[in-house]
Amino acid sequence: MNNSPMISLRATTLLLVLAVPLVAALASPRSTSNASPRSTSNAAPRDTALAASRDAGEVRKITSNGGRYVLEVREPEGGFQRGKPLAFDVRVMHAGDPDRALTDVELLVDADMPEHLHGTNRAPRIERAADGSFHVENVYLHMAGWWEVFLDVVEGPWTERAQMRVIIE
Amino acid sequence: MAAAAKPHYGLFRRAIPDLVSPEFATFDAEGRLWVTEAHTGQVRAFDGEGQEVARFVLEVKPNVLREPHGIAIAPNGEVFVADAFEQCVIVLNGEGLRLRTIGKRGAGLGDMREPRGLAIGGGKLYVADSGNHRIDVFALDGKFERALGKRGYGDGELLAPNDVAVDADGRVFVADLGNQRIARFGKDGAFGRAWGGIGPFSGLFHAPTGIAVFDGRVFVADRDNHRVQVFDGEGLPDHEWGVHAVRPREGNGKLHYPNAVAIAPKGDVVAVVEGLEGRVQLFGDEGEDASDPPIVDRSASAHYEGGCDAAADLVAMLEPAGPTVSIFDMGHETPVEITRFGRSGTRAGQFLVPADVEFSVDHRSVWVSDPLVHRISEFSLARDPGAVLRFDPYMARFARALDLAAVPGLPAAPWPPEPTALELGADGTFYVADRANARILAFDARMEFVRAFGEPGTGLGRLLEPTAIALDGSGNVYVADARSRKVESFDAQGKPRGAWPIPNGRNGDGRPRGLAAAEGGGFWVTAEDASILVRADGDGIPVATIGKAWTAGLGRLEFFHPEGIARTPDGGLVVVDAGNHRFQVLDAKGGFRTAWGSRLFLTPTFETK
Amino acid sequence: MNLRWIWASVALVALAIAGCAGRGAREPAAALTEVAGAPTSAAPTSAAPASAAPASATPVERSRTDSAPRERPSAELVAALDAPTITRILRHGPLGDPEADPTNRVANSPAAAHFGQRLFYDPRLSLDSFHSCASCHMPTRAFADGLELPMPAGSSERHVPTVLNVAHQRWFFWDGRSDSLWSQALAVIENPKELGVGRPGLAKLVTRDALYRSEYRAAFGEDPSDAEADVDRTAVNAVKAIAAYETLLQSGDSAFDRFAAALGANDLDTAAEYPAEALRGLLLFDGRANCRSCHPGTNFSDGEFHSIGMFPRGGGKPTDAGRMRGIDKLRADPFRGNGAFSDAPDCDRALEVDSLVQSSEQWGQVRTPSLRNVARTAPYMSQGQLATLREVLEYYSTLDRAIPVGHHGEQVLKPLHFTAQEINDLEAFLRSLDGRDPPAHLVWAPPKPR
pLDDT (tens digit per residue) in B521-552: 899 999 999 999 999 998 999 999 999 999 88
pLDDT of B372 strictly over 80: yes
**How far is it, in rounded angstroms, from Cα B494 to Cα C200?**
76
Residues of chain C positioned with their CB less than 8 A from the CB of B201: 317-318, 321, 363-364, 406
Supply the pLDDT for residue A70.
97
Nearest-CB residue to A143 (from C294, C348, C352): C294
Supply the pLDDT for residue B384.
84
Confidence class of residue A7 from pLDDT cuts 50, 70 and 90?
A: very low
Mean pLDDT score across all residues of chain C = 86
C294-298 — which CB contacts under 8 Å span 24+ positions? C294/A143, C294/C368, C295/C368, C295/C371, C296/A82, C296/A83, C296/A143, C296/A144, C296/C91, C296/C92, C297/A82, C297/A83, C297/C91, C297/C92, C298/C91, C298/C92, C298/C93, C298/C94, C298/C95, C298/C96, C298/C168
Supply the pLDDT for residue A78.
87
Helix (H, G, I), strand (E, B) or coil at B292: coil
Residues of chain B positioned with their CB less than 8 A from the CB of C319: 202, 237
Mean pLDDT of A31-37: 33
Confidence class of residue B603 from pLDDT cuts 50, 70 and 90?
A: low
pLDDT in tens, B242-274: 888 877 788 888 999 999 999 999 999 999 999
- Percentage of chain B lying above the pLDDT 70 cut: 97
> Closest Cα of chain C to B418: distance in Å?
25
pLDDT in tens, A134-144: 999 999 999 99
Q: What are phi and psi of A113, to 5 degrees?
A: -110, 100
Mean pLDDT of B505-531: 93
Supply the pLDDT for residue C69.
58
The model's pTM is 0.88
Chains with at least 3 CB pairs less than 8 angstroms from chain A: B, C
Q: Which residue has the higher pLDDT, B301 or C35?
A: B301
DSSP string, B258-281: --EEEE-TTSS-EEEEETTTTEEE
Asked if C304 lies within 8 A of A143 by C-beta distance, the reply is yes
Helix (H, G, I), strand (E, B) or coil at C292: helix
- Percentage of chain A lying above the pLDDT 70 cut: 66
Strand order in the sheet with B88-92: B68-73, B79-83, B88-92, B98-102
Nearest residue of chain A to residue B425 (CA atoms): A38
Supply the pLDDT for residue B154.
95
Mean pLDDT of B88-114: 96
Residues of chain C positioned with their CB less than 8 A from the CB of A146: none
Nearest residue of chain A to residue B361 (CA atoms): A38
Q: Is C357 on the interface with A (CB under 8 A)?
A: yes
Confidence class of residue C67 from pLDDT cuts 50, 70 and 90?
A: low
Q: Find the distance separating the first CA and the last CA of chain C, reported in whole Å.
A: 12
Supply the pLDDT for residue B297.
60
Nearest-CB residue to B197 (from C360, C407, C408): C360
Mean pLDDT score across all residues of chain B = 93
Supply the pLDDT for residue B533.
97
Mean pLDDT of B346-361: 96
pLDDT of B58 strictly over 90: yes
pLDDT of C10 strictly over 90: no
pLDDT of A53 strictly over 80: no
Disruptive mutation site among A3, A14, A36, A39 for chain B (greatest number of B CBs within 10 Å) = A39
Confidence class of residue B298 from pLDDT cuts 50, 70 and 90?
A: low
Helix (H) / strand (E) element for B80: namely: strand B79-83
Residues of chain A positioned with their CB less than 8 A from the CB of C302: 82-83, 142-144
Supply the pLDDT for residue A119.
87
DSSP string, A73-141: EEPPTTSS-TTSEEEEEEEEEETTEEEEE-SS-EEEEEEEETTTTEE-SB--EEEE-TTS-EEEEEEE-
Supply the pLDDT for residue A14.
37
Q: How many other CB atoms are there within 10 angstroms of residue C37's CB atom?
A: 10
Residues of chain A positioned with their CB less than 8 A from the CB of B378: 39, 41, 66
Mean pLDDT of B367-394: 92
- Residue A33, classified by CB atoms within 10 Å of its CB into exposed (0-12), middle (13-18) or buried (19+), is exposed
Supply the pLDDT for residue C28.
34
Mean pLDDT score across all residues of chain A = 74
pLDDT in tens, C182-238: 999 999 999 999 999 999 999 999 999 999 999 999 999 999 999 999 999 999 999
- Percentage of chain C lying above the pLDDT 90 cut: 78
pLDDT of A31 strictly over 50: no
pLDDT in tens, C370-423: 999 999 999 999 999 999 999 999 999 999 999 887 776 777 889 999 999 999
Supply the pLDDT for residue B388.
85
Asked if B428 lies within 8 A of A38 by C-beta distance, the reply is yes
Supply the pLDDT for residue B552.
82
Supply the pLDDT for residue A115.
84
Confidence class of residue B20 from pLDDT cuts 50, 70 and 90?
A: very high
